[in-house]
């Protein structure tokens, strides 16, 4: 095998564990489109297969290939500057524990979990107790940022979605999260405000007007963008602010593939 060049080592790698959406509006393909636009090399391991298009998700199932074997096959690439994102996951019990144990052995320097309950339209996958069972496995290694929206945080913590940010984040922090990036898109009103909550307290990431319309894959895209910006040298909070700005800048360029379904983000460079 030829030696790696210095330039190749300067390109960070983002490993995405998540759901395969064949339409690329969300899930792993959306992660790939986002990360590639930010100059980060994406790699993927499917932790859920979906029967999904731009209208709705009909079915979610475990992947046909073992995620553990896929991760092992990528192991030699996962060194230096790299990070991991965990999204939609249909694995439970021993399968999930083995995957997370192998991942922990690799000690990813940057880690973020998007605790997805279900696609926006169609079948659901997790309720609050199921997410808490996942957290017992996922967060045991420490150093994870968790990025729920208000609905997911409400289900996880068993508190109303309109609660104060600290109350919505508390259950994740108590489960082992290093920080919680509480996304504000599901709040009521004409403004959107994200919060960063960690051991230093609660910080607003800025207030912005709510943009008109609905977009597919906003959660996948913005969390992938955070990972990309972090791997490009930004700190946690700045990466979250920049990821939000990145999403807003692309909002008006959404389109419906084939003229059908909910609009998704158009591909293209930053």
* pLDDT one-digit tens code per residue, 185-229: 877 789 999 999 999 999 999 999 999 999 999 999 999 999 999
* Average pLDDT of the residues of the chain: 93
Segment 226-241, tens digit of pLDDT: 999 999 999 999 999 9
7: confidence class by pLDDT, cuts 50, 70, 90: low
In this prediction, residues 94-113 reach a mean pLDDT of 97
pTM of the model: 0.94
In this prediction, residues 21-41 reach a mean pLDDT of 97
What pLDDT sits at residue 141? Answer: 82
Distances (CA, A) of 230 to 21, 75, 162, 200, 234: 25, 21, 29, 20, 5
In this prediction, residues 143-153 reach a mean pLDDT of 96
What the chain holds in terms of domains, given with CATH numbers, is 12-259 (3.40.1190.20)
To 10 degrees, what angle do helices 165-174 and 150-157 make?
60
What pLDDT sits at residue 122? Answer: 73
Find out whether 12 and 232 touch, Cβ atoms under 8 Å. yes
2: confidence class by pLDDT, cuts 50, 70, 90: very low
- 69 Rama sector, left if φ>0, alpha if ψ -120 to 50, beta otherwise: alpha
In this prediction, residues 56-65 reach a mean pLDDT of 94
Q: Please report how many Cα atoms fall inside a 13 Å half-sphere around the Cα of residue 20, on the Cβ side.
A: 15
What pLDDT sits at residue 142? Answer: 85
**How far is it, in rounded angstroms, from Cα 54 to Cα 212?**
18
**How far is it, in rounded angstroms, from Cα 158 to Cα 146?**
17
What pLDDT sits at residue 119? Answer: 73
Find out whether 205 and 193 touch, Cβ atoms under 8 Å. yes
Segment 116-133, tens digit of pLDDT: 887 777 787 888 899 999
End-to-end CA distance of the chain: 33
**How far is it, in rounded angstroms, from Cα 42 to Cα 72?**
16
Q: How many of the other CB atoms lie within 10 Å of CB of 27?
A: 29
In this prediction, residues 242-269 reach a mean pLDDT of 94
């Amino acid at each position: 095998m030829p030696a790696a060049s210095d330039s190749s080592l300067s390109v960070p790698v983002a490993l995405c564990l998540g759901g395969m959406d064949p339409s690329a509006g969300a899930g792993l393909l959306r992660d790939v489109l986002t990360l590639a636009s930010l100059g980060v090399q994406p790699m993927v391991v499917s932790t859920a297969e979906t029967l999904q298009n731009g209208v709705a998700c009909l079915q979610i199932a475990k992947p046909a290939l073992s995620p553990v074997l896929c991760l092992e096959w990528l192991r030699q690439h996962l060194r230096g500057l790299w990070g991991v994102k965990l999204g939609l996951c249909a694995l439970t019990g021993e399968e999930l524990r083995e995957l997370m144990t192998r991942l922990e052995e690799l000690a990813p320097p940057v880690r973020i979990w998007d605790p997805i309950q279900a696609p926006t339209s169609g079948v659901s996958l997790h309720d609050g107790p199921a997410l808490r069972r996942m957290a017992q496995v996922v967060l045991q290694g420490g150093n994870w940022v968790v990025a729920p929206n208000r609905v997911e945080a409400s289900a996880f913590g068993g508190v109303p979605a309109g609660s104060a940010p600290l109350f919505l984040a508390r259950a994740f922090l108590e489960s082992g999260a290093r920080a919680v990036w509480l996304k504000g898109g599901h709040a009521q009103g004409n403004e959107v405000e994200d919060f960063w909550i960690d051991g230093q307290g609660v910080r607003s990431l800025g207030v912005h007007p709510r943009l008109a319309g609905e977009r597919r894959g906003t959660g996948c895209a913005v969390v992938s963008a955070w990972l990309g910006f972090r791997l490009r040298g930004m700190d946690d909070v700045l990466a979250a602010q920049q990821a939000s700005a990145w999403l807003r800048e692309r909002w008006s360029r959404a389109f419906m593939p084939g003229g059908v379904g909910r609009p998704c983000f158009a591909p293209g460079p930053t």
